[in-house]
Chains A and B, each alone.
Chain A
Amino acid sequence: MLLIPCPYCGPRAELEFSYGGEAHIARPAAGAALTDEQWAAYQYERSNTRGPHAERWRHARGCGRFFNVLRDTTTDRILAAYRIGEARPVLPAEPR
């Protein structure tokens, strides 16, 4: 079970949270102008990164707020947590 650092409440057990999928996927402003390929890519394609992965979590059984987490998908280690609207933190180059 992950220990997730909620930016509002501090570290809490994973059971208090729900997963919200990959972060930083913005809905296209002019959806009707997209081709079918572009729309399908927005709707379905995900980076499925092996390594640092930016993802949304919601503190569903706590403050109720969404926030973003940077987690290494090869180790499940959480590298950073940050609020919605903030830019993805730049990680120092470090050996995993």
Chain B
Amino acid sequence: MSRRFSAWSLLKGGLSGQRAWPAQWRAAAPKAGYEAVIIGGGGHGLAAAYYLAREHGLRDVAVLEKGWIGGGNTGRNTTIIRSNYLFAESSALYDHAVRLWETLSQELNYNVMYSPRGVLMLAHSVHDEQVFKRHIHANYVNGVDNEWLSAAEAKAYCPPLNIGTELRYPVLGGALQRRGGTARHDAVAWGYARAADALGVDIIENCEVTGLRRDAHGAIAAVETRRGLISTRRVGVSAAGHSSVVLNMAGVSLPLESFPLQALVSEPVKPVFPCVVMSNTIHAYISQSDKGELVIGASTDAYTSYTQRGALHVSQHTLEAICELFPDFRRLRMLRNWGGIVDVTPDRSPIIARTPVPGLYVNCGWGTGGFKATPGAGHLLAWTMAKDAPHRLNAPFSIERFRDGTLIDEAAAAAVSH
């Protein structure tokens, strides 16, 4: 069983050559039944299990993961955290997550390396400038920090940035959220897994869900898995790109489409890049990890797919934009690129809600921007499962909004072109 980390334990671990650390969570085997089951052992699912145990006293909980924890989109994103979304519903939802990020390392006793280094979104046209200023004003009204920088101020904040007028799409300025930043994605999964495990949650890897059983009244009765049948009355689906596949097992159809989204990293270099820069117009995202790699986000492929890889011309397009904006990086070599499958809703806002099937809850539709919401999404899914009712923050993010026409259209704020 894992112990609490402290300066003393780290020193002791160092003196023993870092070889004496115990496993940080148990390799649990599935029991015959649980009070609640979470499908999907990514950051969102593990966080939901943690908050179910921590805030709602539900400790007889299992997290079922098809592969290994954090091996899906949690380990495949560009780790950007921000909350400067347009509508009141969204900025409240995403800012809830940012506030949890701020104290997460202390809460979990695990360093998730949250680094509020600032997220700068570049404007390249008059239209961009108007849209970003509208976002800034809306954020101001909603108590979310976001400010306008001129091109020269943007250059001062991010020195590698090229603000020359010779660019095809010159930089006119940008919107900066100083509380935005990055975190270490693997540490988020590991930290939540360790903390949930310590509260009694079973984390079950290599356990693909193959079916959802319902009783005579239609309510959830059991989960069929590759490691046997698990009876439960409460299931939370947090399966990202495969949410449609899992929900179809219970006859639930949601407005989701799954697309591959790519990211890539360069060879590691000394610290050269102080913040996160995003450009929606020419499509580039970039930040530098503490290992020194430049972490670059590309866009989604045009078509739906489950292949976890993307087309080369998509990442090439992003690299052209990066080289234009940051000429210093032209000679850097790229080390790795990969794809994750993201589930996109028509209004680019997530769904955290009860489903028409009693006992079945869902957290999906985060599209290209789910990492930033990890603590908030887990917290709200746990609340919704424990109370069988949404929290006021996720009540607008229902399934019914598509029927009622109360969409929360964040296509402009979602940044990734899709």
Chain A interface (Cβ < 8 Å from any Cβ of B): 1-2, 14-15, 18-19, 22, 36-37, 40-41, 43-46, 48, 50, 53, 55, 71, 73-76
Determine if B302 and A19 form an interchain contact, defined as CB atoms under 8 angstroms apart. Answer: yes
Determine if A48 and B257 form an interchain contact, defined as CB atoms under 8 angstroms apart. Answer: yes
Determine if B255 and A44 form an interchain contact, defined as CB atoms under 8 angstroms apart. Answer: yes
Verify if B303 is at the interface (C-beta below 8 Å from A): yes
What are 25 contact pairs spanning A and B, CB under 8 A?
A: A1-B312, A14-B311, A14-B313, A18-B302, A36-B404, A37-B403, A40-B255, A40-B402, A43-B402, A45-B253, A45-B254, A46-B256, A46-B257, A46-B304, A48-B244, A50-B242, A50-B245, A53-B304, A55-B303, A55-B304, A73-B258, A73-B307, A75-B307, A76-B305, A76-B307
Give the 5 A-B CB pairs with smallest separation, nearest first: A44-B255, A48-B244, A19-B302, A40-B403, A1-B311
B11 CB, nearest partner CB in chain A, Å? 49
Give the chain B neighbours of A14 by CB distance below 8 A.
302, 311, 313
A-B contact count (CB 8 A): 57
Provide the bound-state CA to CA distance between A74 and B253, in Å.
Answer: 20
A86 CB, nearest partner CB in chain B, Å? 20
- Which of A18, A36, A73 is the one whose CB lies under 8 Å from B306? A73
B375 CB, nearest partner CB in chain A, Å? 27
Chain B interface (Cβ < 8 Å from any Cβ of A): 242, 244-245, 253-258, 302-307, 311-313, 343, 346, 402-404
Provide the bound-state CA to CA distance between A46 and B253, in Å.
Answer: 8
Provide the bound-state CA to CA distance between A75 and B305, in Å.
Answer: 8
Provide the bound-state CA to CA distance between A90 and B247, in Å.
Answer: 26
Give the chain B neighbours of A36 by CB distance below 8 A.
403-404
Determine if B402 and A48 form an interchain contact, defined as CB atoms under 8 angstroms apart. Answer: no
